[in-house]
């Protein structure tokens, strides 16, 4: 049996989690094993329906009076106890903050190998995974020497697909045995501070700026373009290190990974550190004064020019079309 960890951060199920489920289902099919899922969310909405459409045959719903908010040690202990009972051959999660944390903790508790950011696998004994290093600019083939290995699935490694003929998923409650000490690390408060703008990670269009923007003020023109296109705004590491954008808006190895339909990169040279954050984009339009910028070799569209000339002209033209 293959066990998939379903997280939920208020939303019942995230796109990254669905990608991990698709990956897990392909692994299950390849190994001739059923796919089961473990969910911690209390208000899960139509979770059974969604999981069924992804080939899950059994759902383990973890219930405990104290599992109300995120507590990594308690969650991991609960998952480890479920593994003792259900005996999965692989355990998978999305390579999100929580997926990586919970699986790493289970790996530590049970002394198992854990491979983060997997994009593929090969059958065999021991099984082999392909995982990302350097944010995906280098790939590693690695053998996993223990059962069950723990894998997290890299964002955008697979496209979400539902199954055609679904079967009824059975729903079981799992009640872990937890103590006070398991809750020593838990969320004690939440601060909702980020404005309800378009989210970088889910936006279908993103406008990004780098060194060429020149200043925090320089980003105004990018924001204007973004608001016309319903896009999110992000920055390279240069832009966030200079304080032109907040760190939460960084696109790159140490920031967000984005995968929009269109990424408009302005004044960014396209160093590896940045590129690994945006390589999931379907189209990349690079606007840069330097015709030798490496980003042009990885983009789908390019404009050679000063963004402070090109963007105002582009904005004016879009306004004209819209009115």
> Please, which of residues 233-292 interact with another protein by CB under 8 A?
237, 240-241, 247-248, 250, 253-255, 261-262, 271-273, 279, 283-286
Q: Of 100, 161, 166, 214, which lies in the binding site for another protein, with binding defined by CB under 8 A? A: 100
- The sheet carrying 170-174 orders its strands as 128-133, 114-122, 150-153, 90-94, 2-6, 35-39, 56-62, 170-174
When the beta carbons of 85 and 320 are compared against another protein, the nearer one is 320
Cis peptide before 148 (omega within 30 of 0): yes
What is the nearest approach in angstroms of another protein to the Cβ of residue 135? 7
> Within its chain, how far is the Cα of 245 from the centroid?
21
Residue 138's Cβ-count burial label (10 Å; 0-12, 13-18, 19+) is exposed
Distance CA 296, CA 276 (A): 15
- 308 near another protein, rule: CB under 8 A: no
What is the nearest approach in angstroms of another protein to the Cβ of residue 150? 9
When the beta carbons of 215 and 300 are compared against another protein, the nearer one is 300
- 216 near another protein, rule: CB under 8 A: no
Site for another protein in 102-121 (CB under 8 A): 104-105, 107-109, 111-117
- 1 near another protein, rule: CB under 8 A: no
- Other CB atoms within 10 A of residue 24 CB: 28
- 175 near another protein, rule: CB under 8 A: no
- Using the contact rule CB under 8 A, the part of the chain among 21-29, 86-94, 135-143, 214-222 near another protein is 135-143
Q: Of 97, 171, 172, 175, which lies in the binding site for another protein, with binding defined by CB under 8 A? A: 97
The token pair at 32 is: 């001739």
What is the nearest approach in angstroms of another protein to the Cβ of residue 196? 8
Q: Of 42, 133, 220, 319, which lies in the binding site for another protein, with binding defined by CB under 8 A? A: 133
Distance CA 268, CA 38 (A): 42
When the beta carbons of 165 and 190 are compared against another protein, the nearer one is 190
- 66 near another protein, rule: CB under 8 A: no
When the beta carbons of 35 and 226 are compared against another protein, the nearer one is 226
- 321 near another protein, rule: CB under 8 A: yes
What Å distances lie between residue 23 and 17, 81, 208, CA to CA? Answer: 10, 24, 30
- 303 near another protein, rule: CB under 8 A: yes
Q: Of 170, 175, 199, 215, which lies in the binding site for another protein, with binding defined by CB under 8 A? A: 199
Cis peptide before 288 (omega within 30 of 0): no
CA dihedral 213, 218, 221, 223 (to 10 degrees): 90
In terms of DSSP bridges, do strands 114-122 and 128-133 run parallel, antiparallel, or are they unpaired?
antiparallel
What Å distances lie between residue 258 and 32, 206, 263, 282, CA to CA? Answer: 33, 8, 9, 10
Q: Of 55, 136, 209, 267, which lies in the binding site for another protein, with binding defined by CB under 8 A? A: 136
Q: Are 35 and 57 in contact (CB under 8 A)?
A: yes
What is the nearest approach in angstroms of another protein to the Cβ of residue 171? 28
- How many residues make contact with another protein (CB under 8 A)? 91
């Amino acid at each position: 049996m293959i066990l998939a960890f379903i997280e939920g951060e208020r939303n019942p199920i995230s796109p990254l989690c669905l990608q991990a489920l698709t990956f897990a289902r392909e692994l299950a099919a390849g190994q001739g094993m059923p796919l089961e899922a473990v969910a911690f969310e209390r208000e899960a909405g139509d979770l059974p329906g969604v999981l069924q459409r992804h080939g899950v045959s059994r759902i383990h719903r973890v219930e405990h009076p104290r599992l109300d908010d995120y507590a990594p040690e308690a969650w991991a202990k609960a998952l480890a106890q479920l593994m003792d009972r259900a005996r999965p051959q692989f355990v998978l999660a999305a390579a999100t903050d929580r997926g990586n944390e919970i699986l790493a903790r289970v790996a530590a508790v049970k002394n198992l190998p854990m491979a983060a950011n997997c994009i593929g696998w090969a059958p065999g004994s021991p099984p082999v995974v392909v995982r990302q290093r350097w944010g995906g600019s280098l790939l590693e083939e690695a053998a996993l020497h223990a059962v069950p290995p723990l894998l997290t699935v890299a964002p955008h490694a697979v496209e979400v697909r539902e199954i055609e003929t679904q079967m009824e998923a059975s729903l079981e409650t799992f009640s872990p045995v937890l103590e006070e000490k398991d809750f020593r690390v838990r969320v004690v408060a939440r601060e909702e501070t980020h404005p309800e703008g378009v989210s970088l990670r889910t936006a279908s269009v993103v406008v990004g700026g780098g060194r060429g923007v020149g200043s925090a003020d320089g980003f105004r023109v990018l924001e204007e373009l973004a608001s016309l296109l319903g896009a999110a705004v992000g920055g390279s590491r240069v832009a966030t290190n200079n304080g032109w954008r907040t760190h939460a808006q960084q696109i790159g190895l140490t920031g967000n990974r984005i995968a929009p339909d269109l990424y408009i990169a302005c004044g960014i040279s396209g160093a590896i550190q940045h590129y690994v954050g945006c390589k999931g984009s379907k189209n990349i339009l690079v606007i840069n004064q330097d015709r030798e910028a490496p980003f042009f070799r990885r983009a789908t569209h390019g404009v050679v020019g000063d963004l402070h000339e090109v963007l105002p002209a582009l904005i004016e033209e879009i306004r004209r079309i819209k009115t």
